Amino acid sequence: NGQNPDRRIFSVGVKVVKHMVGANGQRLGHPFLVKGGRHIGPFRFQRGGHAFRDRSSPKWSKRWSNGKKAARRANCDQVFDHFCNGQTHDREIFDQVPAFPLTRVMTLEKFGLVSQDQIKGRLKGGRDGLKLNEGKRRAKAKKEVVTSLTNLFDSKEQHPIIEFKPEEEDAESASLTPSFVLEVTWPRVVLLYHPQSPRCKKIQFLYVQVARGVKRRSSRLPVEFYAVNCGKYRDVCESDQGFSIQTVPTLVGLRSGQIDSFELDFASPSSVQGIETIDKTVESVAQQMGLSLDKAKGSGSVSSAFAHDMDAESVLEGVDASQMFESRRADNNVYDSPVSFTEAVFHDAKASLILTLTSSIQYPPGSAEIRVLSDFFDLLQWALPPETKVHNLAEDLSKDAAGWKKSKPGLLRILDKHTDYRKKQIWSSRCAAGAGGYSCGLWSLLHIVSVGVAERHSSVLGSSRISVLQSGEVVKSFIETFFIGCQSCRVLFMDLYDEHAEKSLALKNAESNEDWRSLAIWFWDIHNEITIRSSVKRMKGKRRMALSSSLWPSGSECHACWRKSLMDDTGQVLSMYSYDMDELYMFLKKI
């Protein structure tokens, strides 16, 4: 109505202008094509849904010329009658017909005809604001569209999201109901997205983090997370037999025992700012799904305090554990980046694992070395939460075993996806501030695994279980074969392991929770013993002084962990064998 549209809408592709409209609504000229904001010829439908130019027709050129002059007089340049006449009722009308693969179709978000996140890819025509029948599409064009729409959640980094791919039976029967909808045993959360949508790309990271958060805290009821590519499986998203959505991204939920989906409220990408927002989104999704979540852990981790600025080398060189643990309480902002203490612990564990692999494997590795590494990777996958980066690294190493077995470049190719191992400084400041980041990170890894074995045991049944003895033997073999720290540290660890051999054998057929927790206590015992022995050496044989100054946790940090009768009048612990296993394990778990 006398206003020029934004020329930017003509910057991509070929568009069909049905006819220009004057200020009073009269039609000026006939349909024509524009590209780059300029007229390039008349428009005509061709079988197959493609538009083309017909330069040989002087009639079309004359009508275009007359229409262009009339448009100038009416001060209405290249405006669609759909908008000038107010007939924008059908949101499915597309303003263009492409002369190239359908993946380049662009819709007019500028005029509110469709959103930039509306599902695209289907060719439609319109007249006077009403939808016409679709043009026929060539099989080749359809194939080009589907193959070019890459899934957003296919990579290993998107774990635990399951990308929807129809099974053969569903494809043959043309079923519009995904198989996971009918699997009603567990609750399901589904993200319906389009890979070319900017909002879908922005929300990708949030969805992965929310899925990991919910799965980690929903220990009572497993929850599965799926993603459906609406560019490839449009009918599943749009049809009444599918999810019947209008825009992407849309998050829907299906409760346990139900096949009817409902839409979930989800945070916008612009509101995603750090861990606190992700935690709030996790709780919001769980509340809408009717899930009961475990209490979120605080700033510590499974082994955070145990690993804080502590490593075997520094202990053996005279820096005792109590001094290092003490720094944690007064240093909550020790990190250069805004990450939680838990994230730092897992990061350091992964960093030390990577350094071990890049420095200790001699190529070609022998069959014994390969077995030790394979068993250790399997243990990490089994014991660690699936949302952790260490678990993802171990999973990649297990799946691509042929790569790292063959050559070191094959190993580096796998590791390169998980960290920049070429950087000299690879640990967080919690480990880098100590005398040796490598041992600090490795102790972190061992404590995480030991507690993970106990926690994993409570949720796994049958043949998927792994025994305490087997877990200990796998860790022992890994340290014995690949530990790259000081030789005395390796020897001391192996000696302490042998001292605990009888205790480990006694647990071979254990079934109680107390026995499963004992592996975490055992690693704690070894770590403290290393601290005490080095302190005794530094204090010239005064074991009591070494005990009182080195044992962790101290009586003031966890009074319930120790029996009062075995403390002196100042509260110092006099024996490391006087701990209360239940209290100590709960202390380790909540840190």
Give 548-561 as a 3 state SS string: HHHCCCCCCCCHHH
Strands 14-17 and 32-35: antiparallel
* 170-184, 195-209, 242-256: least confident range: 170-184
What is the band of 577 on the pLDDT scale with cuts at 50, 70, 90? low
Tell me how far apart the alpha carbons of residues 546 and 576 are, in angstroms, rounded to a whole number: 11
Q: Looking at residue 219, what is its pLDDT?
A: 73
**CATH level 3 topology of 156-289:** Glutaredoxin (3.40.30)
Is the pLDDT confidence value at 481 over 70?
yes
Q: Looking at residue 372, what is its pLDDT?
A: 93
Q: What does the DSSP 8-state code read for residue 28?
A: E
| pLDDT per position as a tens digit, 27-37 | 544 455 555 45
Of 171, 172, 190, 194, nearest to 180 by C-alpha is 190
Tell me how far apart the alpha carbons of residues 241 and 365 are, in angstroms, rounded to a whole number: 55
Element (H, E) at 457: helix 437-457
Provide the Cα torsion 531, 532, 533, 538; round to 10°: 90
At position 320, the amino acid (one-letter code) is: D
Strands 250-254 and 262-263: antiparallel
Tell me how far apart the alpha carbons of residues 353 and 565 are, in angstroms, rounded to a whole number: 41
| CB proximity list for 175: less than 8 A, separation 6 or greater | 166, 169
DSSP characters for 515-548?
HHHHHHHHHHHHHHHHHHHHHHHHTTT-HHHHHH
For the record, the structure tokens of 123 come out as: 């060719």
Of 202, 195, 212, nearest to 159 by C-alpha is 212
What would the mean pLDDT of 460-481 be, rounded to a whole number? 74
What would the mean pLDDT of 476-490 be, rounded to a whole number? 85
Strands 188-193 and 224-229: parallel
Tell me how far apart the alpha carbons of residues 277 and 453 are, in angstroms, rounded to a whole number: 30
Percent of all residues in the chain with a pLDDT value above 70, rounded to a whole number? 50
What would the mean pLDDT of 442-448 be, rounded to a whole number? 87
Is the pLDDT confidence value at 108 over 50?
no
Q: Looking at residue 254, what is its pLDDT?
A: 94
What is the band of 373 on the pLDDT scale with cuts at 50, 70, 90? very high
* 102-111, 137-146, 279-288, 367-376: least confident range: 102-111
For the record, the structure tokens of 75 come out as: 């001060």
* Contact (CB, 8 A) for 500 and 450: no
Tell me how far apart the alpha carbons of residues 346 and 302 are, in angstroms, rounded to a whole number: 9
Of 84, 82, 68, 73, nearest to 34 by C-alpha is 68
Is the pLDDT confidence value at 158 over 60?
yes
Tell me how far apart the alpha carbons of residues 350 and 346 are, in angstroms, rounded to a whole number: 6
Which of 60-69, 381-390, 499-508 reaches the highest mean pLDDT?
381-390
The structure's pTM equals 0.47
Tell me how far apart the alpha carbons of residues 224 and 189 are, in angstroms, rounded to a whole number: 6
What would the mean pLDDT of 441-456 be, rounded to a whole number? 85
Tell me how far apart the alpha carbons of residues 247 and 79 are, in angstroms, rounded to a whole number: 26
For the record, the structure tokens of 42 come out as: 């008349």
Tell me how far apart the alpha carbons of residues 271 and 509 are, in angstroms, rounded to a whole number: 51
Q: Looking at residue 298, what is its pLDDT?
A: 46
What number of other Cβ atoms are within 10 A of residue 214's Cβ?
A: 23
Domain ranges of the chain: 7-131, 156-289, 304-590
Is the pLDDT confidence value at 173 over 70?
no
* b/e map 78-99, b = 16+ CB within 10 Å: bbbbbbbeebeeeeebbbbbbb
Q: Looking at residue 23, what is its pLDDT?
A: 47
Tell me how far apart the alpha carbons of residues 30 and 16 are, in angstroms, rounded to a whole number: 11
Is the pLDDT confidence value at 167 over 50?
yes
Helices 581-590/437-457 angle, 10° precision: 110
Q: Looking at residue 581, what is its pLDDT?
A: 78
Is the pLDDT confidence value at 118 over 70?
no
* 47-51, 420-424, 471-475: least confident range: 47-51
* Contact (CB, 8 A) for 531 and 321: yes
Of 571, 464, 449, nearest to 522 by C-alpha is 449
* Contact (CB, 8 A) for 544 and 514: no
More confident residue, 380 or 218: 380
More confident residue, 339 or 468: 468
More confident residue, 432 or 236: 236
Percent of all residues in the chain with a pLDDT value above 90, rounded to a whole number? 9
Helices (H), 3-120: 58-74, 81-84
Q: What are phi and psi of 374, to 5 degrees?
A: -60, -45
Is the pLDDT confidence value at 126 over 60?
no
Q: Looking at residue 267, what is its pLDDT?
A: 63
Element (H, E) at 190: strand 188-193
More confident residue, 499 or 75: 499
What would the mean pLDDT of 474-489 be, rounded to a whole number? 86
What number of other Cβ atoms are within 10 A of residue 110's Cβ?
A: 13
More confident residue, 14 or 332: 14
Is the pLDDT confidence value at 489 over 70?
yes
Task: Report cis status (omega within 30 of 0) of the bond before 409.
Answer: no
Burial environment of residue 240 by CB neighbours within 10 A (0 to 12, 13 to 18, 19 or more):
exposed
Is the pLDDT confidence value at 478 over 60?
yes
Instruction: Count the alpha carbons within 13 Å of 531 in the hemisphere toward its beta carbon.
Output: 29
